Amino acid sequence: MSVRRDNGVIALEGDCHVEDAERLAALLEAQADPLVDLAQCRHLHGALLQVLLWYRPKITGAPVDPFLRGWIVPILDTHFSKTEARDI
């Protein structure tokens, strides 16, 4: 499974596909101050990106994929609240 929770950290590993989005949303919804580790993520489907943009968890771990590391992580690292994000 490419989305798992380990000691309170939600890890995205390998190729994360559209079918993983629902599990990610459930894990983020169930945790008060979620932390998501992207260090082992090679591919992130747009559906998972949308879930991450909605919940705005803290992100840890730099993905090995240069596109994820250079373009996606900085977007996830911005500090908009859910309300602010909807107003954009």
Residue 88 has pLDDT above 70, yes or no: no
Number of folded domains that form the chain: 1
The domain in which residue 70 lies consists of 3-87
Beta strands 9-12 and 3-6: pairing type? antiparallel
- Segment 50-66, tens digit of pLDDT: 999 999 999 999 998 99
Say if CB 33 and CB 11 are below 8 A apart.
no
Q: Tell me the percentage of the chain whose pLDDT exceeds 70.
A: 89
